[in-house]
Amino acid sequence: MINVKAPNPIFLEHEHAEKAILLLHSFTGTVRDVKLLATKLNKAGFTCYVPAYKGHGLMLDELMSYDVDDWLADATAGYQFLKDKGYSNISVCGVSLGGILSLKLAETKHVNSVAIMSTPYRKSDAGLAGRLKDYGERMGSLIGLAQSDVATQLEKIKNYSTELDKFQLLVDNVMSQLDQITAPIAVKFGKQDDTSYETSAHYIFEHIQHDDKDIKGYDQSKHLMTHGNGHEEVEQDIIAFFEDY
């Protein structure tokens, strides 16, 4: 049995912070997606918490023993963690799936402000299954699995269709309730990402009913906007947004 250690959540408390930020990572990503951003926000004076989603960072079959309901529960528990630490001023920030979960929290909880990156307004089974395939191959390569063992893991994706349907239902549910969001919101997308994410960003922006909203595309950014080319500009803008709200 291969033993892969699950990533730990990240808690960066700032002694003088009045504001806390919950940062949420992507589907098939880990806390590393937003670790650098959390560090920069913490240095700017914010307390930051990054929950680790169940199964993420583990082997593919372990990831697929959970579904989007579990990851929403992880995000909600992260929000409660900050409440329990005494913070009443809590903002949320997420990339991809983390953006979906951030929107869901903004629809159902009291949040001070919201920043989302590379957030889809719809998802297909094929696209999600492709992400799982990439994840399984990446994890197999990382720990040196034989190709036959990787293939065995990938074969299990076809049994995950019900959970992929639940993922789509969550996205649909979140998009149907965007008019419930009253917190200031910043919507961001990478111009080097698939063009569907630019379409998604404009859809979300247009369906937020209040005027305290902003949308911006980043010329150098790909899907994971918190890493790679352009991440410094994204970080600076997100820090400025949370300082304003």
Residue 241 is predicted with a pLDDT of 98
Please state at what angle helix 161-176 crosses helix 97-108, rounded to 10 degrees: 50
Question: Which residue in 134, 128, 132, 104 sits closest to 116, CA to CA?
Answer: 104
Distance CA 141, CA 137 (A): 6
On average, the pLDDT of the chain sits at 95
pLDDT at position 2 = 58
pLDDT of residue 227: 96
Helices 68-84, 97-108: crossing angle, 10 deg rounding: 60
Q: Do residues 119 and 100 lie in contact, with contact meaning Cβ atoms separated by under 8 Å? A: yes
d(CA 124, CA 133): 14
Residue 3's pLDDT is 66
Q: For the purposes of burial, counting CB atoms within 10 Å of the CB of 119, is it exposed (0-12), middle (13-18) or buried (19 or more)?
A: buried
Rounded Cα distance between 157 and 153, Å, is 8
Query: What digits encode the pLDDT tens for the residues 91-139?
Result: 999 999 999 999 999 999 999 999 999 999 998 777 899 999 999 999 9
The CATH classification number of 10-123+174-244 equals 3.40.50.1820
Q: What's the CA gap between 175 and 129, in Å, rounded?
A: 21
Residues marked as catalytic:
96, 193, 223
Q: Where are the domains of the chain?
A: 10-123+174-244
Beta bridge partners of 21: 48, 91
List, for the chain, all residue ranges whose pLDDT scores fall below the cut of 70.
1-3
Distance CA(224)–CA(33), nearest Å, equals: 7
Residues 6+ apart with CB under 8 A from 73: none
The pTM for the full model equals 0.96
Distance separating alpha carbons of residues 220 and 4, to the nearest angstrom: 34
